[in-house]
Amino acid sequence: MKLWSVDAPQTGPDTVAVVAEALVPLMYWRGVPVQVTEPRELTVLERFVLEMGLSLGSVEPADFAEVTSLPPSVLAGAAWRLVAAGVLFPQRNGYGVEHSGAERTLRRQAVARVVDAAADFVLLPRSGDLLAFGGVPGGWLRGLDQKLGADKRAPLPAPLAGARRAEYLGERVRAGTAACLGTEIVDVPAPVEDMPLYTDARQDGKPPTCPAYRCRAQVRRSPTGDLQVDAVFMGRARRGAQQGDDAKTEIEADLSGAEALTNGWLALTAALRHDEVQQDAWHVLVPPQAGVGTPPLNRVSRRGPVEWNLHIGGAAAAALCADGRSLTQPMGLAVADEEAVVEVVCWFFPDDDHARGLFAREEIVHRLLSSPEPAGVITAACREAADRLPTSAPLLTPHAVRERVWQLGHYQLIYLFRETEDFPHD
């Protein structure tokens, strides 16, 4: 694992991971013949049959005729779509009920039927994620196919080398290990002659490989708790897509549903949980000072999904101030493994009264910087802070604050103070 300092990444309240760069092996197939479920609104008679079946445990022609005053033969017409959907099944003269399916159908007020369609599939061989895009094929995958060339090649996992396309995709869909985005896909019918899952164009006798694309991404948690993965694939443009052999292009992509890939990024984002990573991060963010060394780090705590608090005592805070470092500005830290680089935000956090006094002084400086009349508020701001932290009162005088303003290089603010004193206006 490697760490280095970067600018603090831009995040929102729903951000759970910021991926600066990742190499993602990716295989895809467009327009694959599939079978999907197509919802159709229940008729009044179908709803009645389902409700009757759930109440009585079965639907018999005689009972149906008695309640509805309709001929018993009408029941067959009212039940055929429900039988096709698997929520009713023939038994003796009538129909039995599959309770969970019948209840679900009633809640949805729709019966699903299986129809032939086409879908796009994306397989991430390294993580094993399979995404199935039902409905209208195309979307971002069309752009990837037509405009972007893969920068790298990655080894193809051995189990995939001899697999057949429809057989493999169908097994994953039926097992429920494919994330269906859009229309619900229920099967991938295998043709008489199923084609290979993937054919490596190289014929050099070496182990097969597949394309690998560079991308960046941001992972967000939706209000429903689901993870939304907004990715951008980037690299060289395919010939004919743009002019020039060195032309670059980007394709925005939705990788939501790629759980294993996302979990790897989240684990990397959480690397600061480990003691050895904490110390490495501290030395990256706070390099040794000449003649002083590295100030001590007390502990690390998580502030948010992509934010961490670096707890420091008064001695460390004073050393950072002496070095001209801000105590309250966010810092960016890049964390990298062999597959991805994520970025997190780190903050210094006071761990004792001395440190809290130094942080309070920093807050006064920020208050002055945002005030239209800093000379008029410095005394009151210092008094308020000293009342809140009486043991730190010597650090919270106007003189001490001015020294800190100078130390941080806010010379324009110092000029405003001097202007007020040296050139008073009536």
pLDDT of residue 422: 52
Look at residue 240 and tell me whether its pLDDT is greater than 70.
no
Find the range with the poorest average confidence among 151-155, 199-203, 212-216, 227-231.
199-203
Q: Determine the average pLDDT of the residues in 161-181.
A: 91
Place 248 in a pLDDT band, splitting at 50, 70 and 90.
confident
pLDDT of residue 4: 96
- Report which of residues 238 and 109 the model is more confident about: 109
pLDDT of residue 173: 92
pLDDT of residue 203: 55
Sign of the C-alpha dihedral computed for residues 78, 79, 82 and 87 taken in this order: positive
For the segment 364-414, what is each residue's pLDDT rounded down to a tens digit? 999 999 888 888 888 999 999 999 999 889 999 999 999 999 988 888 888
Contact of 149 with 208, CB cutoff 8 Å: no
Please name the amino acid found at residue 349.
Answer: F
For the segment 91-104, what is each residue's pLDDT rounded down to a tens digit? 888 999 999 888 98
Place 218 in a pLDDT band, splitting at 50, 70 and 90.
very high
For the segment 266-299, what is each residue's pLDDT rounded down to a tens digit? 999 999 999 999 999 999 999 877 556 778 899 9
The Cβ of residue 385 has, within 10 Å, a number of other Cβ atoms equal to 23
Burial class (CB in 10 A: 0-12, 13-18, 19+), 204: exposed
pLDDT of residue 96: 92
Q: Please give the Cα distance from 255 to 169 (Å, whole number).
A: 18
Look at residue 311 and tell me whether its pLDDT is greater than 80.
yes
**Relative orientation angle of helices 44-56 and 74-84, to the nearest 10 degrees:** 80
Place 300 in a pLDDT band, splitting at 50, 70 and 90.
very high
